Chains A and B, each alone.
Chain A
Amino acid sequence: MKTTTDPRLNSKVPDGPMGDKWSSYKENMKLVNPNNKRKFKVIVIGTGLAGASAAATLAELGYQVDAFTFHDSPRRAHSIAAQGGINAAKNYHGDGDSVHRLFYDTIKGGDFRAREANVHRLAEVSVNIIDQMVAQGVPFAREYGGLLDNRSFGGSQVSRTFYARGQTGQQLLLGAYQQLARQIGLGGVTLYNRMELVDTVLVDGRCAGVVVRDLVTGQLQSHSAHAVVLATGGYGNVFFLSTNAMNCNVTAAWRAHRKGAMFANPCYTQIHPTCIPQSDPTQSKLTLMSESLRNDGRVWVPLAVGDERPPAQIPEAERDYVLERLYPSFGNLAPRDIASRAAKRAVDSGHGVGPLKNGVNLDFAAAIARLGKDVVQERYGNLFEMYERISGENPYDAPMRIYPASHYTMGGLWVDYELQTTIPGLYCAGEANFSDHGANRLGASALMQGLSDGYFVLPYTIGNELAPMLNKPVPGTDHPAFKQAEQDASDRYNGYLNIKGTRSPDHFHRELGQIIWDYCGMERTEQGLEKALSELPGLYEEFQKDLRVTGNGESLNQTLEKAGRVDDFFQLGMLMCRDALERNESCGGHFRVEYQDDEGEAKRDDENFAHVAAWEWSGDPMTSIRNTEELEFEAVHLATRSYK
């Protein structure tokens, strides 16, 4: 049974051969005269890689831009924590890389569940991103001759990852932040810090603006614009314990979803294989160790169940190098979903290491012997230090212990080729949209996508939308729709304060996260998902009846902020489980135990599920409506993903 595409999910992919689509789009799009650009206002929510780069570039072009961040400064966005690198098809090392190969690797890495044309465009502009960031002064790693260095990453057989020590995300974000700061200084961008989106406002079916909450004063404000961009990141914190920053949340995307933006593939979440295992019950956050460590680190567990000897005392013959054994051609660089499941199975079968037996070894002894300690330190020094600070153990002497954790979400607001959601005038960029990574994201591709969307895609596609609106008035913030949205938000936040129950937002978040992790985490089953869906509405009802938020709504109140975010995570959590239950196949990060081959690998069902599931809000996440966009593959053949 082939599904059909819902007419509202028209991807608007341009005609023509795959390699020509983006240039043909740019040649045919409508333009706004430079002198007229200042007549348009664009709101950008979020100032991470996608938001900062979009806001800076749009302002540079001449649009009036209002940028909002809930942080104290745009430089804090969680893009900053990306460690390993950014991919680009530069082929600087002559190892056979090309735009097509990066495109193909990304489609295959995503287990053939991404839209081809968007991914091809991403691969095309990847090369411009590196040029742009170098021009801005990003200190990428260099060879002694002064040219740029590259490293390898999971899911690829070429070296195409550019990096700045283990702080690539930081350096790229600061680059984008500095461009944004320049525009703020020049007056092209007005920055609103410590402000959180609490609603999007629609007038006659078009996005007319937003309502934000000033976190310092608790006041609600309306802002109107010709177009709104949500660049608000992913929803990995639905698991409570994740590698996301503490304040990452789904609220902006979710509030837009409730106003009509369809939410695509919420069950596609990425569990990253190399995180530091949980060490104590008060832990609130997990820390990622860059995937780049798998270039030189070897994953192993003791062959014997319950082997308690220190790692150095376990002879080679009594070790199982899990990834090298199972995936000889990619070895320790197998993609994230595959490496994560291998670690989970090793731990579940009793081979786990560490005091809680909840990790696997990532061993650098061979690399130190081969390259010397200095080279290893040069490559990973800051990561080793970070590990030691957190675990109290020195990875030069003993292997690191790692275990998978929630890290990234491929699902997000549905967008077309122009990155426009199903609400006209509302755009979504970066991790917050669903567009480029299919069911699994390859390492070093998140930074690439954020910057691609912000620097090289939105500035074109927004112009195409705005051109016909020249000199036509847009609704102002005095429109009743804004007043209504302010009232709704005010009721909502006062509501949390007035429940006066007994349990904190964090209490509920932990319980929610545990259910999602147990039943909608690394491995999912029909039975487990049904159990989650039977438990979640009850827990959500308790949240609505027994929540306790202390303090007031008129000054900075982090407990109140958290309450709003947990509320939205509950609703999203239900939708995630429903999406996972309906998708009767395994693909990428969505692994349904019922659908695996004899060797335990994900078994896709291209006949019935080669589509995007885009959920439509119906007033209750338990009854949301599932619509589909059929994925057409012209440039690549659907194949079983193999990394053996």
Chain B
Amino acid sequence: MTVIDHHPEMPVGAPAAHGKHLTNITLTIWRQSGPDAPGKFESYTIDSISDEASFLEMLDVLNEKLIGENLEAVTFDHDCREGICGTCSLMIDGQAHGPQKGTATCQLHMRKFESNATIVIEPWRATAFPIIKDLMVDRSAFDRIIESGGYITAPTGGAPDANLIPIAKPVSDAAMDSAACIGCGACVAACPNGAANLFTAAKVSHLNLLPQGQAERYSRTEAMVETMEEYFGSCTNHGECESACPKGISIDVIALMNKDYFKSKIKNRRNLDRN
């Protein structure tokens, strides 16, 4: 049991903490030394932390303390800490990215918690996302889906003037809503089946809605859906993905994808027939 009273090293000139402090927080964290090693929960106590601190800053504080005690720091993925890169990926008290709706872990702040709380922190749990270490998982399967068709073929240099393709604002806005996906994997982690339909459909609908995306619409959809199925479970309309998504991507995109996938089975065959 590790006790943390305050941030061990406060730099000269740093502002003094203001606002509330939370006290006596118990963290129950999944520790696993490698992909094939057995894992287990370990508990640590944070004695006091400012409610202005972000959740990941609290983990930074924990790690500094662990290093101070000659123990190995907790491994977790994180980078931009602005909610846009999609690197952070924690299951907090059984909820992907924690209790605040529409918020990635890095933008979750301690003001959302109470003193004396016990917080359980786990990695994303999904067959397609094997654990690398502690709270870090391998999400490469997402890249495989994009590589199979999540693009518009547009070789550099051959593009026409940008304003030659007018796009109705509602269409462009809808494409943007889908394109906002940050690829964090919360949808997969939240899904009881470990399905990646929301992630895949967000990209399919972004590109399939746009006029530039029409040429490859059905080949893209077929390839992406079938690659997805190689790695991930099946969608059974639980809707957990939508409520876990930090970017609020609507489950409607899955309907769009399903429609285009169904059509692709005819369209792509017809194209073959034409050859």
Roughly how many angstroms separate A556 CA and B74 CA in the complex, as a whole number? 11
Which of B66, B148, B180, B182 sits near A550, CB closer than 8 Å?
A: B66
Q: Please indicate the chain B residues that have their CB under 8 angstroms from the CB of A518 in the complex.
A: 13
Contact assessment for A282 and B85 in the assembled complex, using a CB-CB cutoff below 8 Å: no
Q: Please indicate the chain B residues that have their CB under 8 angstroms from the CB of A555 in the complex.
A: 33-34, 133
Contact assessment for B162 and A137 in the assembled complex, using a CB-CB cutoff below 8 Å: no
Q: Please indicate the chain B residues that have their CB under 8 angstroms from the CB of A355 in the complex.
A: 18-19
| Interface bin, chain B | 35 or more
Roughly how many angstroms separate A548 CA and B63 CA in the complex, as a whole number? 12
Q: Please indicate the chain B residues that have their CB under 8 angstroms from the CB of A164 in the complex.
A: 176, 179
- Rounded to whole Å, the gap between the CB of B144 and the closest CB of chain A is 8
Contact assessment for B82 and A72 in the assembled complex, using a CB-CB cutoff below 8 Å: no
- Rounded to whole Å, the gap between the CB of A554 and the closest CB of chain B is 9
Roughly how many angstroms separate A510 CA and B61 CA in the complex, as a whole number? 13
| Interface bin, chain A | 35 or more
Interface centre among B17, B78, B85, by most chain A C-beta atoms within 10 angstroms, is B85
Minimum CB distance partner of B175 in chain A? A139
Minimum CB distance partner of B10 in chain A? A281
Give the A-B contact count at a CB cut-off of 8 A: 262
Q: Please indicate the chain B residues that have their CB under 8 angstroms from the CB of A284 in the complex.
A: 56-57, 60, 81
Roughly how many angstroms separate A74 CA and B102 CA in the complex, as a whole number? 24
Q: Which of A177-185, A251-259, A482-490 contacts B (4 or more CB under 8 A)?
A: A177-185
* A residues 380-423 in Cβ contact with B at 8 Å: 385-386, 389-390, 392
Q: Which of B135-143, B234-242, B257-265 contacts A (4 or more CB under 8 A)?
A: B135-143
Contact assessment for B79 and A514 in the assembled complex, using a CB-CB cutoff below 8 Å: no
Contact assessment for A550 and B183 in the assembled complex, using a CB-CB cutoff below 8 Å: no
Query: Does A143 sit at the interface, judged by CB under 8 A?
Result: yes
Which of A182, A245, A280 sits near B53, CB closer than 8 Å?
A: A280
Q: Please indicate the chain A residues that have their CB under 8 angstroms from the CB of B10 in the complex.
A: 281
Interface string of A238-262 (1 = CB under 8 A from B): 0010000111000000000000000
Roughly how many angstroms separate A135 CA and B71 CA in the complex, as a whole number? 51
Roughly how many angstroms separate A130 CA and B57 CA in the complex, as a whole number? 38
Query: Does B86 sit at the interface, judged by CB under 8 A?
Result: yes
Binding site for A on B (CB under 8 A): 7-19, 33-34, 49-50, 52-54, 56-58, 60-61, 63-64, 66-68, 70-73, 75, 77-87, 100, 102-103, 107, 109, 111, 132-133, 136, 138-140, 142-143, 146-163, 165-169, 172-173, 175-176, 179-180, 182-183, 206-207, 210, 212-213
Closest 9 CB pairs of A and B: A146-B166, A185-B147, A178-B151, A135-B159, A135-B154, A131-B159, A280-B52, A134-B162, A139-B176
Binding site for B on A (CB under 8 A): 53, 56-57, 60, 71-78, 80-81, 90, 92, 128, 130-137, 139-148, 164-165, 167, 169-171, 174, 177-179, 181-182, 184-185, 191, 193, 216, 240, 245-247, 278-285, 287-288, 355-356, 358, 385-386, 389-390, 392, 455-456, 459, 502-504, 506-507, 510-511, 513-514, 518, 548, 550-551, 555-559
